[in-house]
Amino acid sequence: MNDVLLLGPQRRPTLADAVADLGLDGPIATVNAGWQEREPDDRELDELLGERSVNLRLYARWADALRDDDELAQADRARRDRIDELQALYLRRLHHAMEGISALRHHAARDPGLRDAEMADAVEEIRRLDARHLDRIDEVEADFAQQLRLSERPVVAEHRAAVARLVGGTEAVAIAGGHVAVLLHCLRLFGLTGVLGERPVIAWSAGAMAISERVVLYHDLAVHSPGHAEVHARGLGLCRGVVPLPHARRRLRIDDHERMALLARRFAPARCVVLDDGARLSCPDGATGATDLPTVGLDGHLHAEAS
């Protein structure tokens, strides 16, 4: 397993200090595929890493593979269409399930114990819905990989070999944020986990979400959707037992304790950890230990454990 360090959003950069504290003084592979077309604009990232970054250019490799291999491109579009459709169907069910939770919450029960039992059942139904959705996304991804025989396709094999060579000359891997679905797909397509070895991994924002066990999207304040937290995909699982919440104070109704309690209960026993600007969460061998970072408790309040 790899030592993993999750950082808060880099609006106030802490990456350079984190790298120094880890004693990393060699080249560092970088992944900023989530920036998509802005992937080459990595000068600031390179400067934070002491001009020692080695950009793996996974987004450019993905674009190159799609240009070079028509069958791959068609299958990739079909994969994305199926996932979009699954996500839309899941969100419809999730919306009604969350409306049920809301109705129970506001029901003036003569026996609160009976209402609490119904609430517990309703939360379990949402947990099962989340789990089944992840399974269906897994099935789509597995079908894509098996039917396309990805490892045998020349353009994919060529890029995977190049990525392996580049990573082989580095001391650690740093993964930035951006579009999490694009980032996660590029990480998988070019087999990053298979070439990491024992290198430490540093990730932030969507990068932190992509390397956790499952990607959870949230935006309570969004104007274009009901804003329910939704599972999006299974992550790489490089850090376990945590649901990273970057930008949480900008995107979640932190003061709505009932809503936050539901978030914690849906994903327990994994801990929902708020990654504020400047935050660091160390995961030795990928396991998340005690942390003094704010964690969403089952009561919906933010708590900090003893470090």
* pLDDT at 264 (0 to 100): 97
Torsion, Cα of 199, 200, 206, 212 (10° steps): 90
Query: What's the average model confidence in pLDDT over 4-21?
Result: 94
* pLDDT at 307 (0 to 100): 43
Is the omega angle on the peptide bond into residue 269 within 30 degrees of 0, that is, cis?
yes
> What is the residue-averaged pLDDT of the chain?
94
* pLDDT at 305 (0 to 100): 67
Percent residues over pLDDT 90 in the chain: 87
Distances (CA, A) of 269 to 193, 261, 297, 307: 25, 13, 11, 19
Is residue 12 over pLDDT 80? yes
Residue 129 neighbours by CB distance under 10 Å: 16
* pLDDT at 41 (0 to 100): 97
Is residue 49 over pLDDT 90? yes
Strands 295-296 and 230-234: unpaired
Label residue 54 by pLDDT band (50, 70, 90): very high
* pLDDT one-digit tens code per residue, 182-226: 999 999 999 999 999 999 999 999 999 999 999 999 988 776 665
Phi, psi dihedrals of residue 302, rounded to the nearest 5°: -85, 130
Q: How far apart are CA 153 and CA 170, in angstroms?
A: 26
Label residue 7 by pLDDT band (50, 70, 90): very high
* pLDDT at 112 (0 to 100): 84
Q: Tokens in use for 120?
A: 């517990």
Residue 196 makes CB contacts below 8 A (sequence gap 6+) with: 2, 167, 173
Percent residues over pLDDT 70 in the chain: 98
* pLDDT one-digit tens code per residue, 243-290: 999 999 989 999 999 999 999 999 999 999 999 999 999 999 988 877
pTM value? 0.93
* pLDDT one-digit tens code per residue, 111-166: 888 988 999 999 999 999 999 999 999 999 999 999 999 999 999 999 999 999 99
